[in-house]
Amino acid sequence: MRVPLERKVLNENDRIAATLRERFKSHGVFCLNLISSPGSGKTSLLERTLEGFGPERRVAVLTGDIQTDNDARRLAHFGFPVRQITTGGACHLDARMVERALEGWPVEDLEILFLENVGNLVCPTSYDLGEEARAVLLSVTEGEDKPLKYPATFHHADLMVLNKIDLLPYVPFNAEVAKENARRVQPGIEILDVSCTTGEGLDRWRAWLDGHL
Amino acid sequence: MSIAAAVLETLRAEAANHGGARVARAGLRIGELSGVAPESLRFCLETLVAGSDLDPLAFDFEICPWTRRCHACAAVFRVVEWNTACSACGSLDTEAAGGDQMELMYLELEEP
């Protein structure tokens, strides 16, 4: 006997994500899901972002890693609430992990919640976390064809942050080709050039964030 | 692997809803842009099923192409070689139409 289901495989994840999205939206919290390969600079970007915020800003970070709370410790220096999600093997965050990590947190008082995903350009793509926007980081020490190799990830991103641009003179990376590749996969993608080392472009990144509040 | 686990969790729940009937076969729809490689998913499913309460269980896969819809001429076209321009009229004004599916289409239960 054939039973039609016509149901999303990640139905349960999507259900929780929808609840989270509603919660963020009703309290005016801008939730951003940050995705990239390991080492592209997600934590560095967050460090520079938090560093530039005055204490009056209502910002918090959930940071995901397979093991260690090193990232949470790096980010806790800036005085904003930070929680580590240690996935214990899973290569991505899912909505249930985010829901659990937010238990007992004054999420309603926030203006921005950053979700730093596990460093991985594949698996996080499939998991909706209830975010309002998704940013993918690409650094110039990687290949400029990454958007073509991982089209699903770039296709689902609202913003591409091209990081480590201070290294452009030293690496054979063609930034224009990388951007063209990203736009082929996602014609509507916004792109920002930044260097977390020199601070170049971080003003535009902050303006992008503030534009979503 | 967690996606495969989610599939099996749903199949178990559905089987329980049908009086604990045995699931013999399940149909999955996977898009080219879903971020899931069908062969990897099949491998993970088979690994989890082997020796479990669901063994034996067969899977059918339907692969959905990456498609976009043209705002200028309304054509729905397949994206080939990452080219998101309309294949009918060449317009660059197109929107996502398909390819990110990751769905359970059906399951087949054994008659008791």
| Nearest CA distance, B9 vs chain A (angstrom) | 10
Distance in Å, alpha carbon of B51 to nearest chain A alpha carbon:
22
Task: Identify the closest residue of chain B to A183 by CA–CA distance.
Answer: B84
Query: Could you give the 3-state DSSP secondary structure of residue B21?
Result: coil
pLDDT of amino acid B1: 87
Interface confidence, given as ipTM, is: 0.83
Task: Kindly list the residues from chain A whose CB atom is less than 8 angstroms away from the CB atom of residue B109.
Answer: 1-3
Size of interface A-B (CB pairs under 8 A): 82
Buried b (16+ CB within 10 A) or exposed e, A84-119: bbbbeebbbbbbbbbbebbeeeebeebbbbbbbbbb
Q: What value does the mean pLDDT take over residues B87-102?
A: 93
Half-sphere exposure of A13 (CA within 13 A, CB side): 24
Instruction: Report the domain count for chain A.
Output: 1
Cβ of residue B18 closer than 8 Å to a chain A Cβ: yes
List beta partners, residue A85. Answer: A64
The reply to whether A5 falls in a domain is no
Judged by CB atoms closer than 8 Å, whether chains meet at B109 and A3 is answered as yes
The reply to whether A20 falls in a domain is yes
Extract the residue ranges of chain A whose pLDDT is less than 70. none
Q: Provide the CATH number for the domain around residue A64.
A: 3.40.50.300
Q: What pLDDT, on the 0 to 100 scale, is given for residue B111? A: 72
**Nearest CA-CA distance, residue A186 and chain B, Å:** 8
Nearest CB to A9: which of B7, B14, B82? B7
Question: Are the beta carbons of A152 and B34 separated by less than 8 Å?
Answer: yes
Check CB contact under 8 Å for B34 and A126. yes
Nearest CA-CA distance, residue B74 and chain A, Å: 17
Is the pLDDT assigned to residue B112 strictly greater than 70? no
pLDDT at B66 exceeding the cut of 90: yes
Residue A43 is assigned to a structural domain of this protein: yes
B107/A2 Cβ within 8 A:
yes
Residue B57 has pLDDT above 80, yes or no: yes
Nearest-by-Cβ selection for A153 from B3, B35, B103: B35
Whether residue B100 is predicted with pLDDT greater than 70 in this model: the reply is: yes
Judge: B108–A151 Cβ closer than 8 Å, yes or no.
no
**Which residues does residue B30 pair with via DSSP β-bridges, in sequence order?**
B63, B102
Tell whether A124 is covered by a domain: yes
Considering the four listed CATH numbers 3.30.300.20, 3.40.630.10, 3.40.630.90, 3.30.2320.50, the one that applies to the domain covering B2-66+98-109 is 3.30.2320.50
Q: At what angle do helices B2-17 and B38-49 cross, to 10 degrees?
A: 60
How much is the pLDDT for A163? 98
Residues of the domain holding A179: 11-210
What six digits make up the tokens of A103? 């238990």
A37 inside domain: yes
Residue A3 counted as domain residue: no
How far apart are alpha carbons A205 and A210 in whole angstroms?
9
Residues of A in contact with B82 (CB under 8 A): 148, 151, 181, 184-185
Please answer yes or no on whether A151 and B84 come within 8 Å at the CB atom: no
Q: What's the pLDDT at A106?
A: 84
Are the beta carbons of B64 and B31 closer than 8 angstroms? yes
Query: pTM for this one?
Result: 0.90
Residue B14: both structure tokens together = 């559905």
Please write the tens of the pLDDT for every residue from B27-49.
999 999 998 999 999 999 999 99
Q: What is the pLDDT of residues A33-90, one digit of tens each?
A: 999 999 999 999 999 999 999 999 999 999 999 998 999 999 999 999 999 999 988 8
Q: Residue by residue, what is the 3-state secondary structure of A94-149?
A: CHHHHHHHCCCCCHHHCCEEEEECCCCCCHHHHCCCCCCEEEEEEECCCCCCHHHH
* Residue A143 placed within a domain: yes
| Residue B77 near chain A (CB below 8 Å) | no
As a whole number, mean pLDDT of residues B14-39 equals 92
